């Protein structure tokens, strides 16, 4: 049974690399297109491990150091596996002073992960952001593209339940 899973995994990975190769071919000759290729590759793989970065560098005929530099510069790119859902807790001034730090601690405790980590079950990746542009709703939190207003440690479990019970999203801002 493990052998069948391995074959399926190998086939899936081959298909992912083929998809990235098609993206590279589409953008290879366009100046300044590395970010678009990286964005597409992260969408395909879910993150950008070193092997994928090397594949992109080779395919675009650019140094690996250039690819790694772009990946490490932009916080959007991740070199680690990410969860199915991304929680972004705002820690801008308004959110911080209105209790954002308590929500951060509650998230860490509820999920058993530190900032930047992914839960063992692969459901959530937890990040801190400086501002999500919802200062009037502070403290605000995003799960994927859903914004939640006036989040408290008490409300947190109910918000996360929407994502663990198969429902996407809940009461948002």
The region of weakest confidence among 53-67, 71-85, 133-147, 156-170 is: 156-170
* Superfamily of domain covering 85-164: Glutaredoxin (3.40.30.10)
Is the pLDDT score of 5 beyond 90?
Answer: no
Is the pLDDT score of 135 beyond 50?
Answer: yes
Q: What is the DSSP letter of 136?
A: G
Q: Where are the domains of the chain?
A: 2-73, 85-164
What mean pLDDT is predicted for residues 142-160?
Answer: 95
CA 149/CA 172 separation, integer angstroms: 7
Percent share of the chain, pLDDT over 70? 91
CA 87/CA 170 separation, integer angstroms: 14
State residue 164's pLDDT score.
Answer: 85
**Smallest Cα–Cα separation from 103: which of 148, 163, 134?**
148
Question: Could you give the count of Cα atoms lying within 13 Å of 69 in the half-sphere of its Cβ?
Answer: 6
Q: What is the DSSP letter of 118?
A: B
What mean pLDDT is predicted for residues 138-149?
Answer: 95
Sole residue written with tokens 């491990």? 49
CA 77/CA 74 separation, integer angstroms: 6
Here the tokens at position 133 are: 């542009």
Q: How confident is the model at residue 169 (pLDDT cuts 50, 70, 90)?
A: low
What is the tens place of the pLDDT at every residue in 18-77? 999 999 999 998 999 999 999 999 999 989 999 999 999 999 999 999 999 999 998 789
Rg from Cα positions in the chain = 19
């Amino acid at each position: 049974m493990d052998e069948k899973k391995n074959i399926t995994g190998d086939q899936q990975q081959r298909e992912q690399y083929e998809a990235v190769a098609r993206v590279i071919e589409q953008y290879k000759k366009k100046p300044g297109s590395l970010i678009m290729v990286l964005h597409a590759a992260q969408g395909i793989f879910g993150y950008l491990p070193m092997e994928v970065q090397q594949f992109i560098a080779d395919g675009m005929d650019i140094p690996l150091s250039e690819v790694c530099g772009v990946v490490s510069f932009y916080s959007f790119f991740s070199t680690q596996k990410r969860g199915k859902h991304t929680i972004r807790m705002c820690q801008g001034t308004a959110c911080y002073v209105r209790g954002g730090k308590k929500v951060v601690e509650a998230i860490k405790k509820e999920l058993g992960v530190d900032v930047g980590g992914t839960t063992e079950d692969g459901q959530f990746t937890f990040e801190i952001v400086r501002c999500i542009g919802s200062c009037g709703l502070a403290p605000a939190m995003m799960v994927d593209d859903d914004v939640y207003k006036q989040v408290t440690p008490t409300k947190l479990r109910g918000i996360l339940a929407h994502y663990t019970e198969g429902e996407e999203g809940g009461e948002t801002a």
